[in-house]
Amino acid sequence: MSTHKVKKLPKRTAEIIIDIPKEDIIKEYKLAFNLLLKDLTVEGFRKGKVPKNIGEKHLKKEEVYQTLIKNVLPKIFEDIVKKESLTPVISPKIELVKAKEDEDWQIKMTVAEKPTVMVGDYKEIVRKAKANLKKDDIWLPGKGQEPEKTKVEKEQKMLNTVLAALLKEAKLEMSDLIVEEELNRKLAQQVDEIQKIGLTVDAYLKSKGLTMEQLKQRYAQEINDTYKIEFVLQEIADKEGIKVEESDLDKLFGNIKDEKEKALAKQNAYFYASILRKQKTLDFLLGL
């Protein structure tokens, strides 16, 4: 049975040290091996019928250990989150401190927790932000007919102004891990896209007049602002008691004609509920 210690770090970050006895690792290794063995295909044997001694020659230990980690750590993390009342907002950063064969394992998880958000008098902030826009730049429901493009542009400008004002006045301290992990993902995605169009990273940066450090700083700021405004909107939704009803989801899913797409959407109901709640919060702010 694993044991753990939690250490609270600055900026809503927590460090978890997990110790797993070698007996548990041996047991989980066997389970992971048997799981992989069921899907192993070896010439002369049907899938799922490969003998254990043959499987040992074809399955690499690294592959088995990777499967072990994928099977074991999520459950351990889930139990710790419940026991310690943690509020993770992204997947934890995982480091294998000690992970030798036939020895106890030690794993370190770094967790970014939901920040405490101070939004101030958000209603007054929104009203002032809207009042500072020129009248011609504001579109409100019922104001009158305008070309659809112009109406959408004005509504978007008002929304951007409101969000910028909320972001400026809000006070929250966010874990550096959030930006770090998202930045790594975004940079990897960008490099992949650059290579797909046949450019090198250096050539791409030169075409944009940027250095890699400048690109990182730009992305980091975008990520920082995006997450902060998400936390601000969540806080406002909590304060206003904004909820997504079952009927809201039923209406959304009812608009999906393809049955497979609908079934997939229902499996991700939590994701769609969060989007609907955010939209309700934005509608509330724009209506102030």
Q: How do the domains of the chain map onto residue ranges?
A: 3-112, 115-173, 175-239, 242-288
- The residues that bridge with 88 in the sheet, in sequence order, are 113
Band of residue 143 on the pLDDT scale cut at 50, 70, 90: low
User: Residue 240 has what pLDDT?
Assistant: 96
- Region of 224 on the Ramachandran plot (φ > 0 left; ψ -120 to 50 alpha; else beta): alpha
Q: Name the nearest CA neighbour of 238 among 280, 182, 184, 210.
A: 280
Task: Kindly tell me the burial class for residue 162, based on how many C-beta atoms sit within 10 Å of its own C-beta (0-12, 13-18, 19 or more).
Answer: buried
Q: Is the pLDDT of residue 149 over 70?
A: no
- In this model, does residue 126 exceed pLDDT 80? yes
Asked whether residue 20 carries a pLDDT value surpassing 70, the answer given is yes
Dihedral sign for Cα atoms in the order 193, 198, 201, 202: negative
Span 90-117, pLDDT tens digits? 999 999 999 998 999 999 999 999 999 9
pLDDT at 134: 60
Report, as an integer, the average pLDDT of 247-272. Answer: 91
User: Containing H/E element for 109?
Assistant: strand 105-112
Contact by Cβ (8 Å): 280, 246: no
pLDDT at residue 135, as a whole number: 57
- 147 band by pLDDT with thresholds 50, 70 and 90: low
Given a cut of 60, whether residue 29 has pLDDT beyond it is yes
**CATH code linked to domain 3-112:** 3.30.70.1050
Q: Are 244 and 280 in contact (CB under 8 A)?
A: yes
Q: What is the mean pLDDT of residues 193-217?
A: 93
Element of type H or E holding 14: strand 13-20
For range 240-259, the mean pLDDT: 92
Q: In the beta sheet, which residues pair with residue 109?
A: 16, 94
Q: With contact defined as beta carbons under 8 Å apart, do 93 and 109 qualify?
A: yes
Mean local confidence (pLDDT), 134-141: 55
One-letter identity of residue 68: L
The pLDDT value recorded for residue 1 is 83
- Does 140 have pLDDT greater than 60? no
Q: For residue 69, what pLDDT is reported?
A: 94
* Average pLDDT of the segment spanning 130-159: 69
Q: How far are the Cα atoms of 77, 86, 104, 206 from residue 220, in angstroms, in the given order?
A: 27, 25, 38, 20
pLDDT band for 154, please (50, 70, 90 cuts). confident
Count Cβ atoms below 10 Å from residue 248 Cβ, excluding itself. Answer: 16
HSE, side-chain direction, 13 A CA sphere, residue 108:
9
pTM of the model: 0.81
Residue (of 111, 106, 75, 121) closest to 90 by Cα position: 111
